Structure 1
Amino acid sequence: MWAFINKLRSPKWFYAISARLQPWFWALAAILIVTGTVWGLAFAPADYQQGNSFRIIYVHVPAAFLAQSIFVSMAVAGFVFMVWKIKVADMAATVMAPLGAAMTFVSLFSGAVWGVPTWGTWWMWDARLTSMLILLFLYLGVIALRGAFSSRDSGSRAASVLAMVGVINIPIIKYSVEWWYTLHQPATFTVTGRAAMPTEMWVPLLIMVLGFYSFFIALTLMRTRNEILRRESNKRWVRELAQET
């Protein structure tokens, strides 16, 4: 672990290793998302209560999972940056935030669309919905903090602190359906529990979740590489790379 952390201190090493990993994750994301989309929309059976409106789950659930996971990843990256002063961790946290905010918005919007035929309304101050809305505000706060300081390091530290403090909202989101009365349904499937839907319905959902995570990794690698080039533009290896291309 310590050897890996020491390697992360080198933006040049991360730039090189991510170049080899990135195409694989892009290909995996494309295969999984296309497979999950076709299976979920065309071949999965309609729900016996919600009919075909349930199919929005194949976007809503992966987006919600990813929105929460990205914030946790930002908090971990912020901790690594604050403790070990690893610049690559801060670069990764920087590029994660916009995607996390986008996934949170997609989750909220798709949930609202799903709520119309299910609950009869676009929005309710439900515990799960409210905590997800707070997550969106936290993302926007992290993004705003990075640009609110004249010093990039000060903005990075402030954003890291907010991410580490704001991560307490993640278990609130997860357990909100258990702690409070809520219209939101419990988890569709868990690691240890039995799935609440037939196999032909949850398998494409699992495929979509994996596809969204692969997309997140691929996009983070690509954008972190761009962030490295931007921040390290005065380094010799970057200038040499620019001359080669």
Structure 2
Amino acid sequence: MWRWLHPYAKPEATYRLNKKLLPWFAIPGVVILTIGMIWGLAFAPPDYQQGESYRIIFVHVPSAFWAMGFYMGMAIAALSAVVWQIRTAEWAILAIAPVGAVLTLISLFTGAVWGKPMWGTWWEWDARLTAQLILFFLYLGVMALYAAFEDERTGAKAAGILALIGVINIPIIHYSVYWWNTLHQQSTITQAITRFEKPSMAPEMLWPLLVSILGFLLVSSALVILRLNNEILKREVRRPWAQTLLLKENR
């Protein structure tokens, strides 16, 4: 496996791979996300308890789920950067962090909007909410550390170490609803997967939710790919391969 991955430690190989992958993430992602949003927000039936207000789940759950997922991806990149000193992995940390931060912010905002009619308050220092807020600060901290040092490699190493330390927050977010008595409901995604034959959600609600989750993944991945390629070009612009590529694209 390492022999297959090793060539992609080179910035040029990573850039060219990303160029091939981008259409396969961006185009289906936009289509699938549009279908999921229209299906969930306009055509899914109202909930018998929460009425129409539950529809925010089609934005809240995917953003919260992938806020954790992309953090794990960033941590894997950080591990590669710290242990094997792979430059493209360092740049991947910087590419993922803003996308993950936006996903986390969306989840916090939509959670507050959903919480107001359900709990009677915009914010509660609930275990799940607090851990999700910490996740947002971790993303910001990674970006801040990356930019805090004059030496880029030192900043990348510091950001990578923080990303690795912050991984401990991911299981806390997930299991907080099981470990503590919280206002937040148990994991919608876990229930959907572990009880797929008899899920807690009606199929006409579950399927648009799953489609939205896939759409969020593809669109967010496309954004990460775009950001990573921009980071590669920014740092490799003086290399012959990058100059040749830019000349071809500007013709």
Q: Same fold (TM over 0.5)?
A: yes
Pair 1:202-2:206 in alignment: yes
8 A contact 1:8–1:86 mirrored in 2: no
Q: Distance in 1 between matches of 2:223 and 2:9?
A: 21
Q: 1:116, CA displacement in angstroms?
A: 0.8
- 2:77 counterpart SS class: helix
Match of residue 183 from structure 2: 183
Specify every segment of 5 or more residues in structure 1 that has no aligned partner in the other structure, as ranges: none
* Structure 2: distance between partners of 1:173 and 1:73: 16
Other-structure match for 2:194: 192
* 1:118 Cα offset (Å): 0.5
Equivalent pairs, count = 245
Deviation at 1:41, TM superposition (A): 1.2
Q: Is 1:143–1:159's contact at 8 Å kept on the other side of the alignment?
A: yes
The 8 Å contact of residues 189 and 196 in structure 1, kept in 2 or not, is answered as: no
- 5 Å-filtered alignment, 1:100-179, equals 100-179=100-179
**SS of equivalent to 2:188:** coil
Q: Percent identity?
A: 50
Code of the aligned partner of 1:88: T
Q: Distance in 1 between matches of 2:89 and 2:195?
A: 34
Q: What amino acid does structure 2 have at the position aligned with 1:36? A: G
TM-score of the superposed pair, with normalisation by structure 2: 0.95
Residue in structure 2 matching 1:241, options 232, 241, 245:
245
> Which whole-Å CA distance do the structure 2 matches of 1:230 and 1:70 have between them?
23
Post-superposition Cα deviations, 1:61-119, rounded to whole Å, max 9, x if no partner, equal 01001111111111100001111221111111111111111111110110000001111
User: Any idea what SS the aligned residue of 2:49 has?
Assistant: coil
The match for 1:82 is 82
> Secondary structure at the residue paired with 2:194?
coil
